[in-house]
Amino acid sequence: MNETNIPPILLVGLGKMGAALLAGWRERGLAPSVAVDPARPASPGPEAVVLADAADVPAGFAPAAVVLAVKPQNAAATLPLYARYGGSAVFLSIMAGRTVAGMRALLGAGAPVVRAIPNTPAAVRQGVSVAFAGPGVSLAQRGLCDTLLQAVGAVAWVEDEALIDPVTAVSGGGPAYVFLLAELLERAAVEQGIPAGLARLLARRTVSGSGALLAASDEDAAALRRAVTSPKGTTERALAVLMADDAWPALLSRAIAAATARSRELAG
């Protein structure tokens, strides 16, 4: 059994990200904890008991952190159910859009809240999270939140909460953009006559292998791109299409701006 390195946690929401976080904590050594998710049947777990309702949390349970992993649209109905923990626990929210001020209005004016955005590669412990600590968060509480997020990947902190919205657009939604690239590469390969199975292999391994190369390299992405691009070659011809003024550069900027704006809308 793993040594216990993480104190008791109350996890609210067991969707894909909540489940990924819980799995990462278990690997690091998690003290007996509680998860609440109405969509899941109540059940015991090796380190976390899963309950269907906030009212079922044992009266004597004292979590060091309450992790809010519910949909932002459900925040108004869900957060007040956990306000009673504000005097002893830090709230770590991974909800898109919901601001620290907005969450404190639901949890209590003095509630210590950390707002963070992880992404789905957390499921394989390769995620990246960006976090902001609101008023009243102690150094120890910030350290605990850092530990919780590090269990599923890299962590960076910002001092300006407004940056969390574009972070949500870039890295929070970023995996979807990469998966779209793999999807479109596979489709284009089939259109050029490559058998479907081979097209999928080529698309997926090209995306995952390029990501691994990027992670292992100290060079800028632009330098790695140029290294693949021989003058007057096939890649140069393709990039002339992709990098046209009305193509990828402009489209991606518009996409990130749209996602950032939506993150800000979710605050309301």
In the chain, residues under CATH classification 3.40.50.720 are 9-161
pLDDT score of 142 more than 80 = yes
pLDDT digits (tens, 9 = 90+) for 208-224: 999 999 999 999 999 99
Q: What percent of the chain has pLDDT over 70?
A: 96
Residue intervals in the chain for CATH 1.10.3730.10: 174-265
- The CATH code for residues 174-265 is 1.10.3730.10
Least confident of 109-113, 210-214, 264-268: 264-268
Alpha helices in the chain (DSSP H): 16-28, 75-78, 100-107, 139-150, 164-167, 174-191, 196-216, 221-228, 234-242, 248-265
d(CA 196, CA 153): 33
List pLDDT tens digits, range 15-46: 999 999 999 999 999 999 999 998 876 665 66
CATH class assigned to 9-161: alpha beta
In angstroms, how far apart are the furthest CA atoms of the chain? 71
